[in-house]
């Protein structure tokens, strides 16, 4: 029973589901603390797209001008007119400068009007500043690299906590085994192509059967897809009245080291 309880506790950091929970909590904490990552942008607005956006946005701008004049917010109305004039010129820099001035106006009494003007300004700024040069800029590329390295670090830590061969698994993401395409996706849960996870009833498929258990209940010889040698299998499933965890590399015969708890489900 002690082993059963220990296995329950180790699941908190040795299973993918729980690790995903902890990573999710860390991300939420970082966002709430204001430490969220700035995501890179890989889109830009072409001249044709900008013209279409201006055409769709002009009616909303006209409504802001009319409302501002009606409520006596002359500064807002004048700056909104300036944005509309810049729209007519279709010059990105002129539009951007006019919108920044619009967003900078603070002395507006109507809260709803402030929100409408702020939302419109943000949308216009996003479009006019979406340039190809920013996509290929060093800062944008490096931001993507930093996020990729962060994902790699988190993955390595997760593999290490689960007791799995981290470097081999990461290598499987970069250099997948094309022969795995012949065998479907049964037993695979988002793993690299040379790493297969066996869960539950998948163990009863012929290629996952075990021929015998060692006397100490910790080793077994299994048949592991001899036509696809070198594939690593991770085992995590109930077998009868026991629970099996471990791994083996496929071949005609594969000796697997396992953690087998007899006589109870854990």
Q: How many CB atoms lie within 10 A of CB 121?
A: 22
The 10s digit of each residue's pLDDT in 148-169 is 888 888 878 877 777 777 776 6
Phi-psi region of 263 (alpha: psi -120 to 50; beta: other; left: phi over 0): left
pLDDT reported for residue 14: 67
Sign for the CA dihedral angle at 202, 204, 205, 209 comes to positive
Determine which of 80-84, 170-174, 211-215, 240-244 has the lowest per-residue pLDDT on average.
211-215
What six digits make up the tokens of 40?
């890179």
Q: How far apart are CA 64 and CA 31, in angstroms?
A: 33
pTM above the 0.85 mark? no
Query: 208, 204, 188: which is closest to 196 by C-alpha?
Result: 188
**Residue 227 pLDDT level (bands cut at 50, 70, 90):** very low
**Residue 58: pLDDT band with limits 50, 70, 90:** very high
Name the 3-class secondary structure at 231.
coil
Dihedral, 160, 196, 145, 22 alpha carbons, nearest 10:
-50
* Pair 117, 103: CB distance under 8 Å: yes
Beta partners for residue 256, in sequence order: 220
The predicted structure's pLDDT at residue 20 = 80
DSSP, res 249: E
Q: What is the mean pLDDT of the chain?
A: 68
Domains of the chain, residue spans = 47-130, 167-261
The terminus-to-terminus CA distance of the chain in angstroms comes to 9
């Amino acid at each position: 029973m002690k082993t059963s309880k220990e296995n329950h506790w180790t699941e908190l950091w040795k299973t993918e589901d729980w690790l995903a929970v902890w990573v999710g909590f860390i991300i939420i904490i970082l966002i709430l603390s204001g430490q969220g990552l700035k995501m890179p942008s890989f889109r830009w607005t072409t001249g044709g797209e900008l013209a279409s956006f201006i055409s769709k946005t002009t009616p909303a701008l006209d409504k802001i001008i009319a409302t501002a004049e009606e409520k006596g917010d002359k500064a807002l109305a004048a700056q909104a007119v300036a944005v509309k004039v810049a729209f007519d010129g279709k010059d990105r820099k002129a539009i951007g400068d006019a919108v920044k001035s619009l967003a900078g106006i603070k002395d507006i009494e109507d809260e709803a009007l402030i929100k409408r003007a702020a939302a419109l300004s943000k949308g216009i700024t996003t479009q006019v500043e979406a340039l190809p040069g920013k996509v290929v800029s060093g800062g944008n590329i490096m931001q993507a690299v930093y996020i990729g390295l962060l994902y790699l670090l988190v993955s390595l830590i997760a593999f290490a906590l689960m007791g799995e061969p981290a470097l081999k698994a990461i290598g499987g993401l970069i250099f997948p085994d094309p022969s795995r395409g012949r065998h479907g996706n049964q037993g695979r849960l988002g793993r690299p192509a040379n790493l297969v996870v066996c869960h539950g009833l998948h163990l009863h498929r012929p290629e996952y059967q075990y021929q015998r258990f060692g006397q100490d209940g910790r080793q077994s010889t299994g048949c592991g897809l001899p036509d696809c040698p070198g594939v690593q299998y991770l085992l995590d499933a109930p077998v009868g009245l026991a629970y099996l965890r471990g791994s083996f590399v496929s071949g005609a015969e594969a000796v697997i080291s396992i953690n087998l708890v007899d006589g109870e489900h854990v």
